[in-house]
């Protein structure tokens, strides 16, 4: 083989020195010009003052050179076909290897053009005839050893060495059997220029060379399907061994391969019928890998958008948002599975669905019409953090897909959760298996998880707070990923704002943005319908129903579903509050706040809507109306938990949790959330002490 000489950079010459050009005396311009010999193009250059000296090409200097000693002036280094050593002659082998006969092994893609009369090839006996023995040199080429040249008739299937005696004009190959004790083996490949996936339609039915990364391997009842990615896109390549049997088992996912095959259309989709597939190593593999990575990195750049509303916080957060969008786009372009994990409430659902609507068209564009079933999953989390139950499910699915389809481990995007120490145990498990995590959240961060994630988009890092909802952030990131979805998702931030009771200036702006289509009551109805449906969906994403609730499908179904779900939800809330409100205990705290406490374990219906957190929130809303103008705090507690809602009290729930854990030994206090909205867990036996200390700390907070 040949490689470019590094000493002379392929020129064949080494520059020793430079001297002034004798023709132009160093000016770079011609000294004398014969006008009658100038072409029209040269005359134009002369008139424009761009005429250059022909000897030095305008540099004013002449190089003094000598032939490159490293490559003998050829510009290329010849290496031994067998051992790879540098050789000085023009043959295929070095001096050592040339002493042994050379046996050529033809690749499956080779034809008559790769055969040479007089060379020795490895073959396998295919059949017998009265006039000789048929030998397969590869799946495409078959030759004949005439009976007169056979002393011992070989068995069918035997491997043997043959010399090509003649190739007839009709393509018939005449062979001679050779007996060798020592020999050197050389693999022969068809030399074709590399084609990219976007070029394949021009070569239908023709043999092409395709190199790229294996991103998925799927065994069907017939062929094995290898999905190959290069700089421009992906293509499915089919190889058949036996029905349902894995072809080329040595080829693994995430390796760089060279494929020889024929492009064809199958069910309106491009597919390459594989003749041969070979893993590339070393420099060849690295060169392809670098090209792919560089091209994907450019294509992954997010779109430059203007935010839907004016917000200083979002502007400061924009670099993080752009990086998040780029990481997501890159995962899609590399056909890496994506899992969106989100809190199962209106804010979490709207944020995740915004990203989903932006992603699905891109995933299908890259991987085909059914790619979203293999490379994307959205999953709700009941808790506002990444629970061990969640990561166990995600790892189980990912490992199954890795085993069955050789898929890469996924990128998990946590939305409306993932910002605190509570998420660390799950993140550590994910890291062991090579799962990358990104967080898009508005819960108050404690900084503990930032070293574990690729990116953490949080308004707290831009001077904001939980008033900037995840639905707002997610919608803007979705537009960076795919701006074409803007019109269909621009109302989602307003739904998230009313669902999370945001009082930030941005909330009013997002509501105003869609006021011509959705009234405040419409937004509240959608948020309530999402919360109600999410309760019954449990751990399912409910894609179709959730899309209808958010008016992303049929408008008629949207109106009917939202109306029905709100009627059912309000009836359930009314029934719950009829049982709970009479059992609320109220007291005044030293700081003037009105503290309301309800035992939701004993004075609320269990295992139905609304759950304890929602029940506490509904009670809090009614008590805020009752004590209008006063600071109000509501605690809904059970045997081992408490949920907090606050208005007008300057609390820091994550800080209170840390203090309780330190102050009350043996209580096992944990939890968090927003500064004034959150939840706390503890051991059941210490409930009285924890609640008493909690009330004390609330009474010390500013109002």
Distance (Å, whole) CA 448 – CA 312: 26
Q: Any idea which architecture 584-700 has in CATH? A: Roll (3.10)
Distance (Å, whole) CA 382 – CA 398: 21
What's the Rg (C-alpha) of the chain?
36
What's the average model confidence in pLDDT over 17-26?
A: 82
Q: Does 205 score more than 80 pLDDT?
A: yes
What does pLDDT average to over the chain? 90
Distance (Å, whole) CA 223 – CA 208: 20
What's the average model confidence in pLDDT over 26-34?
A: 71
Distance (Å, whole) CA 561 – CA 528: 12
Joined together, the tokens standing for residue 332 give 């899609």
Q: What is the predicted pLDDT for the residue at 59?
A: 82
pLDDT higher for 267 or 311? 311
pLDDT band at residue 675 under the 50/70/90 scheme: confident
Give the tens place of pLDDT for each residue, 447-466.
899 999 999 999 999 999 99
Cis amide linkage into residue 520, ω under 30° from 0: no
> At the topology level of CATH, where does 100-188 sit?
OB fold (Dihydrolipoamide Acetyltransferase, E2P) (2.40.50)
Give the tens place of pLDDT for each residue, 226-253.
999 998 888 999 999 888 899 999 999 8
> What DSSP string runs through 279-322?
E--HHHHHHHHHHHHHHHHHHTPPP----SS--HHHHHHHHHHH
Joined together, the tokens standing for residue 281 give 């190593």
What's the average model confidence in pLDDT over 173-199?
A: 91
What's the average model confidence in pLDDT over 98-112?
A: 87
Q: Does 576 score more than 80 pLDDT?
A: yes
What's the average model confidence in pLDDT over 634-638?
A: 96
Q: Does 97 score more than 90 pLDDT?
A: no
Provide the greatest CA pair distance for the chain: 114
Q: What is the predicted pLDDT for the residue at 81?
A: 67
Q: What is the predicted pLDDT for the residue at 75?
A: 74
Q: Does 14 score more than 90 pLDDT?
A: no
Q: Does 350 score more than 80 pLDDT?
A: yes
Contacts of 596 (CB under 8 A, 6+ apart): 584, 585, 586, 619, 620, 623, 632, 633, 634, 635
Alpha carbon 71 to its chain centroid, in Å, reads: 44
pLDDT band at residue 197 under the 50/70/90 scheme: very high
Do 312-332+340-364+376-397+413-559 and 584-700 agree at the fold level?
no
What's the average model confidence in pLDDT over 344-365?
A: 95
Distance (Å, whole) CA 83 – CA 93: 8
Q: Does 627 score more than 90 pLDDT?
A: yes
Joined together, the tokens standing for residue 449 give 């998880």
Give the tens place of pLDDT for each residue, 38-84.
565 666 665 566 678 877 887 888 888 888 877 777 777 777 766 66
pLDDT band at residue 371 under the 50/70/90 scheme: confident
What's the average model confidence in pLDDT over 627-645?
A: 94
Q: What proportion of the chain, given as a percentage, has pLDDT over 90?
A: 68
Q: What is the predicted pLDDT for the residue at 40?
A: 59
Q: Does 6 score more than 90 pLDDT?
A: no
Q: Does 37 score more than 60 pLDDT?
A: no
Q: Does 421 score more than 90 pLDDT?
A: no
Q: What is the predicted pLDDT for the residue at 90?
A: 59
Distance (Å, whole) CA 47 – CA 251: 63
Give the tens place of pLDDT for each residue, 543-572.
999 999 999 999 999 999 999 999 999 999
Alpha carbon 277 to its chain centroid, in Å, reads: 25
What's the average model confidence in pLDDT over 581-602?
A: 95
pLDDT higher for 82 or 333? 333
- Please state which of the ranges 422-426, 496-500, 581-585, 650-654 shows the lowest mean pLDDT: 650-654
Q: Which residue(s) pair with 264 in the sheet?
A: 271
Q: Does 98 score more than 80 pLDDT?
A: no
Strand locations in 90-233, DSSP E? 102-106, 120-129, 132-136, 142-146, 159-167, 173-178, 184-188, 194-195, 208-219, 224-229
Cβ–Cβ under 8 Å, residues 676 and 646: yes
pTM of structure: 0.75
Q: Any idea which architecture 312-332+340-364+376-397+413-559 has in CATH? A: Alpha-Beta Complex (3.90)
CATH class of 194-299: mainly beta
Angle 313-478-425 (CA atoms, 0-180°, nearest 5)?
A: 80
Q: Does 156 score more than 80 pLDDT?
A: yes
The structural domains of the chain, with segments of one domain joined by +, span 2-67, 100-188, 194-299, 312-332+340-364+376-397+413-559, 584-700
């Amino acid at each position: 083989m040949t490689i470019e000489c590094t000493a002379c950079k392929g020129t064949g010459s080494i520059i020793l020195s430079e001297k002034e050009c004798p023709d132009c005396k160093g000016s770079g311009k011609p000294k004398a010009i014969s006008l009658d010999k100038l072409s029209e193009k040269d005359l134009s250059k002369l008139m424009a003052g761009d005429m250059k000296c022909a000897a030095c090409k305008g540099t004013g200097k002449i190089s003094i050179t000598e032939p490159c000693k490293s490559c003998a002036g050829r510009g290329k280094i010849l290496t031994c076909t067998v051992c790879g050593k540098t050789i000085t002659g023009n043959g295929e082998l070095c001096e050592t290897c040339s002493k042994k006969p050379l046996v050529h092994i033809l690749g499956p893609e080779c034809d008559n053009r790769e055969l040479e009369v007089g060379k020795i090839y490895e073959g396998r006996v295919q059949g017998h005839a009265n006039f000789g023995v048929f030998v397969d040199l590869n799946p495409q080429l078959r030759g004949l050893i005439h009976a007169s040249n056979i002393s011992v008739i070989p068995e069918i299937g035997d491997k043997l060495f043959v010399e090509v005696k003649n190739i007839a004009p009709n393509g018939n190959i005449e062979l001679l059997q050779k007996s060798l004790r020592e020999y050197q083996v050389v693999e022969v490949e068809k030399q074709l220029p590399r084609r990219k996936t976007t070029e394949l339609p021009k070569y239908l039915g023709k043999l092409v060379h395709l190199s790229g990364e294996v991103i998925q391997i799927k065994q069907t009842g017939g062929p094995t399907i290898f999905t190959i990615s290069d700089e421009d896109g992906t293509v499915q390549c089919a190889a058949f061994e036996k029905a349902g049997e894995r072809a080329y088992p040595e080829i693994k996912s995430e390796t760089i391969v060279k494929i020889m095959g024929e492009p064809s259309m199958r069910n309106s989709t491009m597919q390459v019928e594989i003749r041969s597939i070979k893993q590339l190593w070393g420099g060849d593999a690295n060169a392809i890998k670098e090209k792919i990575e560089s091209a994907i990195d450019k294509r992954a750049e997010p779109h430059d958008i203007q935010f839907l509303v004016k917000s200083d916080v979002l502007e400061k957060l924009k670099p993080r948002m752009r990086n998040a969008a780029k990481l997501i786009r890159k995962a899609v372009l590399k056909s890496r599975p994506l899992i969106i994990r989100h809190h199962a409430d209106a804010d979490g659902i709207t944020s995740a669905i915004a990203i989903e609507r932006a992603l699905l068209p891109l995933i299908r564009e890259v991987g085909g019409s059914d790619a979203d079933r293999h490379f994307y999953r959205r999953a709700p989390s009941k808790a506002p953090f990444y629970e061990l139950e969640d990561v166990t499910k995600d790892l189980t699915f990912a490992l199954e897909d890795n085993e069955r389809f050789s898929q890469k481990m996924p990128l998990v995007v946590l939305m409306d959760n993932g910002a605190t120490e509570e998420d660390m145990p799950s993140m550590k498990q994910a890291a062991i298996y090579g799962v990358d995590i990104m967080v898009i959240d508005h819960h108050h961060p404690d900084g503990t998880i930032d070293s574990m994630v690729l990116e953490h988009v949080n308004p707290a890092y831009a001077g904001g707070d939980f008033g900037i909802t995840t639905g707002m952030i997610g919608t803007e990131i979705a537009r960076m990923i795919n701006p074409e979805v803007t019109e269909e998702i621009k109302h989602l931030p307003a739904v998230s704002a009313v669902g999370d009771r945001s009082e930030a200036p941005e909330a009013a702006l997002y509501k105003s943005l869609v006021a011509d289509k959705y009234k405040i009551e419409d937004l509240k109805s959608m948020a309530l319908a999402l919360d109600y449906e999410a309760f019954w969906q449990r751990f399912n994403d409910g894609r179709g129903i959730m899309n209808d609730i958010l008016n992303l499908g049929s408008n008629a179904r949207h109106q009917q579903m939202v109306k029905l779900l709100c009627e059912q939800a309000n009836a359930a809330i009314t029934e719950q509050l009829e049982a709970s409100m009479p059992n609320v205990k109220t007291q005044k705290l030293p700081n003037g706040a009105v503290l309301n406490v309800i035992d939701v374990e004993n004075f609320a219906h269990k295992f139905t809507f609304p759950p304890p957190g929602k029940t506490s929130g509904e009670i809090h809303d009614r008590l805020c109306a009752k004590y209008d103008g006063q600071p109000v705090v509501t605690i809904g507690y059970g045997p081992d938990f408490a949920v907090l809602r606050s208005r007008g009290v300057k609390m820091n729930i994550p800080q209170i949790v840390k203090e309780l854990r330190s102050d009350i030994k043996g209580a096992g206090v944990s939890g968090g959330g927003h500064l004034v909205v959150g939840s706390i867990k503890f051991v059941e036996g210490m409930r009285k002490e924890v609640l008493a200390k909690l009330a004390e700390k609330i009474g010390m907070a500013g109002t």
